[in-house]
Structure 1
Amino acid sequence: MAGQSISRRTLLTALAGTGAAALIGCEPARSRQPNTATAIPDALLVQVDGGLGVLSGGERLTIPRGVATADGQAVYATAPDGAGTAFWRIDTATGRTSTRVTLPGQWLPQAVSADGTKVALTSNATNATNGRPQGRDVSPVLIADVTGVRHRLELRGNFVPEAFTEDLAGLFVLEWLPARAPDRYRVRVVDLATSAPGPLSTRAKTPVPPGAEEEMRGDGRQAVLAPNRTTLYTLYTHQPDHRHTRDLVSGRPGNAHAFVHTLNLVERWAYCVDLPHPFGAASASGHALAVSPAGDRLYVVDVASGSVAEISTEELAVRRTVTLARATGSAHAAAGHDRLFVGAGTAVRAMDGERLGAATGWSVREPVTGLVLSPDGRRLYVGQTDAVSWHDSATGEQLGRAEVPGLVVVHGLAGRS
């Protein structure tokens, strides 16, 4: 997540394209754009009305039931197969697929390990980004790879997979409380050897004491994975009367309206970086998160107030905040080596990433639905209504545009090594 962006803890894809690919049941569908259409220079991961997908030159692959790896190199797909579920991996650069295996029962892919080898699947469509699950007492979760089932969990309570630990021995989950009528959740880690969920550690690497686990009621807006794939950062907004673990342990009051939840996938600790007012006061959709390619800086933007915050990932503290012109609509951000790009409405703004100085900008034809930088940083892809345009990242000049019917959002790059 700039690195590669995940829409709140979930990675996606949807290979779409200028020609609307007809879906055949739940199987991936491939189409080729007309010869007169402009080929997109870099392969992109997108979401379209039909599911997840990849835009790659003249080809468009739509995957109704899939989840992408963090680096965009592969998509894991499923399709009903009688009483079971067909499960396979698609290479986004070549289109090659692994041998299909059949999983017992009906499953949907939800989360992929940071190294791209393991997948957590659930029996329903609820994932870590799409809202509150229905009440339940037991949550079945399947862990699989291209060879088949590795673990089958029957978690007592209402759990949703979020991410894997770096050593693949644990699964981070959202536990929704109370299980039958959920209105809040907390992050826990399940030991895959014992199937037992337990608390995370503090930043000091000590176990969180009983009663001091954070319970969240707000909106998880967006998550990004650090470039080295060891840390997951998630932006939360609208946390009424929220108290962090450090506040619960110390007895201090807490009432954060927005913060970045930092989850260390290696050492299994979590820490929250509070954001100052007015972050969190306006709609969650007006907020966005991006990480620098070096992984040393996080940027949080709130377009409703025009606020931009820079967070040091080493210190886990806000270094500074600046103000841009206010905007309306959904916010999107992408960070390059020396620039930060912010999109909302029909405007794209570019700021100096080091100094967060005065912004320049340009307008696009329709409301922005995603910003993605090319691998060399020279092109900025801008998702719009039923289209993707790409621009010179230094000047904003439009270099090309491709129609993508049904485009929902542009997520990141695909098919990179």
Structure 2
Amino acid sequence: MEPEPARRCHRVMMPKTTLHRRTLLAALAGAGTAALTGCGPLRSPAAVPAASGLPPDPLLIEVDGGLGVLRGADHQAIPQGIATADGRLAYASVPDGGDTALWRIDAGRGVASARVRLPGRWVPQTVSADGTRVALTTEEVSVTKERPAGRDVTPVLIADAGGVRQRLRLPGNVVPEAFTHDLAGLFVLEWLPPQAPDRYRVRVVDLATGVPGPLFTRAKGPIPAGAEEEMRGDGRQALLAPDRTVLYTLYTHQPDHQHTRDRISGRPGSDVHAFVHTLHLAQRWAYCVDLPHPFGAGAADGHAMAITPDGGRLYVADVTSGTVAEISTEELTVRRTSTFVSATGPAYAVAGPGQLHLAAGATMWTSDLAELDVAGERPVGGPVTGLALSPDAARLYVGRQAAVSWHDAATGGELGRAAVPGLVGLRGAARPA
């Protein structure tokens, strides 16, 4: 039987407002196709391959027990692993007696380096954007989900594929977040007070001296003592810009929060419940892009963020309220907002050339970026656990319960599906290093 042609939903103009601101296989399932809701058949491009049971691209996935790479019919576990934001390289570690074995993996090709032995027990915490350095701590703490246990000193190990580079004992209760672009510094979240943490601030550690200090303002001046932002609430998601120089982190539910710019000026600030913390890894400054109401009013996991391939636009979606905001990454302002769709459950988003793909619950939607409205809607038959685009942006991958499917990114038509027992999340495409 011939598959039913995909259909494009009729375009509904939504009101807009212009505003000034982070495992494996056993069986493979058969493939299938489905239709977009709406009217008017849309033919799939001739270049789209026939449906198959093997993913055409290697994928970085989360499964019960950790991180992994799905490569056709093969899988590769990455125990206690962490990957670069672009999915090229990953570091894995396992206990080795009283020490730790560490190795690096080319996620796209599956090639692993020789194992090196690190003295003591360590867990990878963050990896540099180029994949050449990894910071390890004695316990894993997510910079976007958890608060650490109380402590006054934090041991940190800096390593690469050849072994230990530096061993630090940083004062206070800190969690490594990212390396500076030149690898000379390490951005950390410093939790306060250290023994009973309830808030945190971003600082940068000079790796030559081990001394932490404040960031710069966007005007590239040092932040005065006492003016550093102290944040509470939920860090929902972090994204690295395509050129690897800027880290964007979405925060929601920030009670009694004041931005650095307000603390410097003495202004009281505004009643903001969500913002995008922009951290420039090369120039070492930070700036917060405030998101308008209703962002941050709903569940933190109902928010998702995506960046365009050229890095020029950042999109934040709140599926609880059905709102999407477009941020100019050059101006660091919210350029416009749009009423999109409302849903419940964790939200996921990814942006391709001219399109924004969004999913929550058991449904995914496509938006044309020029209009920022709903151009297609598709039920996927179960909760979505992640979205990812192939390196050429031709295929949209959808994480499902114990499975992954791939679709024509232009039409949404399903091209194939594979069972992945234990799958709990889809991270992204695994590109060759």
Scaled by the length of structure 2, the TM-score of the pair is 0.88
Aligned to 2:104: 89
Matched, 1:347 2:363: yes
Looking at structure 2, the residues matched to 156 and 245 of structure 1 have their Cα atoms a distance apart, in angstroms, of 23
Kindly indicate whether structure 1 or structure 2 has the higher relative contact order, using CA contacts under 8 Å at least 6 residues apart: 2
Q: Give the Å deviation of 1:92.
A: 1.7
- The answer on whether the counterparts of 2:147 and 2:197 sit within 8 Å (CA) in structure 1 is yes
**Aligned pairs (5 A) from 1:322-337:** 322-337=338-353
Matched, 1:17 2:32: no
SS at match of 2:130: coil
Shift of the 18–303 alpha-carbon distance from structure 1 to 2, 3 Å rule, reads farther
**Aligned pairs (5 A) from 1:292-303:** 292-303=308-319
Looking at structure 2, the residues matched to 64 and 247 of structure 1 have their Cα atoms a distance apart, in angstroms, of 43
Structure 2: give runs of 5+ residues left out of the alignment: 1-21, 29-51
- The answer on whether the counterparts of 2:85 and 2:239 sit within 8 Å (CA) in structure 1 is no
Matched, 1:142 2:157: yes
Looking at structure 2, the residues matched to 18 and 393 of structure 1 have their Cα atoms a distance apart, in angstroms, of 27
- The answer on whether the counterparts of 1:378 and 1:392 sit within 8 Å (CA) in structure 2 is yes
From 75, 83, 92, give the equivalent of 1:68: 83
Residues 304-323 of structure 1, C-alpha deviations (whole Å, 9 max, x = no match): 00000000000000000001
Given residue 25 of structure 2, which amino acid in structure 1 is its aligned partner?
G
Aligned to 2:285: 269
Residues 332-372 of structure 1, C-alpha deviations (whole Å, 9 max, x = no match): 00000110011001111100123313431111011111111
The alignment's C-alpha RMSD in Å is 1.3
**Aligned pairs (5 A) from 1:216-365:** 216-254=231-269, 255-365=271-381
Q: Give the Å deviation of 1:127.
A: 3.1
Aligned to 2:129: 114
- The answer on whether the counterparts of 2:391 and 2:431 sit within 8 Å (CA) in structure 1 is no
SS at match of 1:320: strand
Structure 1: give runs of 5+ residues left out of the alignment: 1-9, 21-36
Aligned to 1:171: 186
- The answer on whether the counterparts of 1:74 and 1:89 sit within 8 Å (CA) in structure 2 is yes
Q: Give the Å deviation of 1:18.
A: 4.0
Residues 102-141 of structure 1, C-alpha deviations (whole Å, 9 max, x = no match): 1110000010001110000001122313301000011000
Aligned to 1:214: 229
- The answer on whether the counterparts of 2:348 and 2:360 sit within 8 Å (CA) in structure 1 is yes
Q: Give the Å deviation of 1:61.
A: 1.4
- The answer on whether the counterparts of 2:145 and 2:235 sit within 8 Å (CA) in structure 1 is no
- The answer on whether the counterparts of 1:308 and 1:321 sit within 8 Å (CA) in structure 2 is yes
Matched, 1:180 2:188: no
Matched, 1:382 2:390: no
- The answer on whether the counterparts of 1:243 and 1:256 sit within 8 Å (CA) in structure 2 is no
Greater Cα radius of gyration, structure 1 or 2: 2
- The answer on whether the counterparts of 2:106 and 2:432 sit within 8 Å (CA) in structure 1 is no
Looking at structure 2, the residues matched to 147 and 410 of structure 1 have their Cα atoms a distance apart, in angstroms, of 30
Looking at structure 2, the residues matched to 132 and 76 of structure 1 have their Cα atoms a distance apart, in angstroms, of 23
SS at match of 1:247: helix
Q: Give the Å deviation of 1:71.
A: 2.2
Residues 168-220 of structure 1, C-alpha deviations (whole Å, 9 max, x = no match): 00000000000000000000000001100000000000000011100011100
SS at match of 1:40: coil
Looking at structure 2, the residues matched to 358 and 350 of structure 1 have their Cα atoms a distance apart, in angstroms, of 6
SS at match of 1:41: coil
SS at match of 1:134: coil
- The answer on whether the counterparts of 1:333 and 1:371 sit within 8 Å (CA) in structure 2 is yes
SS at match of 1:367: coil
Q: Give the Å deviation of 1:416.
A: 3.2
Given residue 393 of structure 1, which amino acid in structure 2 is its aligned partner?
A
Q: Give the Å deviation of 1:399.
A: 0.8
Looking at structure 2, the residues matched to 236 and 258 of structure 1 have their Cα atoms a distance apart, in angstroms, of 5
- The answer on whether the counterparts of 2:387 and 2:426 sit within 8 Å (CA) in structure 1 is yes
Shift of the 38–358 alpha-carbon distance from structure 1 to 2, 3 Å rule, reads closer
Looking at structure 2, the residues matched to 358 and 383 of structure 1 have their Cα atoms a distance apart, in angstroms, of 21
Q: Give the Å deviation of 1:19.
A: 5.0
Looking at structure 2, the residues matched to 228 and 61 of structure 1 have their Cα atoms a distance apart, in angstroms, of 28
Given residue 414 of structure 2, which amino acid in structure 1 is its aligned partner?
Q
- The answer on whether the counterparts of 2:389 and 2:397 sit within 8 Å (CA) in structure 1 is yes
Looking at structure 2, the residues matched to 96 and 377 of structure 1 have their Cα atoms a distance apart, in angstroms, of 24
Looking at structure 1, the residues matched to 131 and 291 of structure 2 have their Cα atoms a distance apart, in angstroms, of 31
Larger deviation, residues 106-115 vs 389-398: 389-398
Scaled by the length of structure 1, the TM-score of the pair is 0.91
Given residue 208 of structure 2, which amino acid in structure 1 is its aligned partner?
A
SS at match of 1:359: strand
Length, aligned pairs only: 388
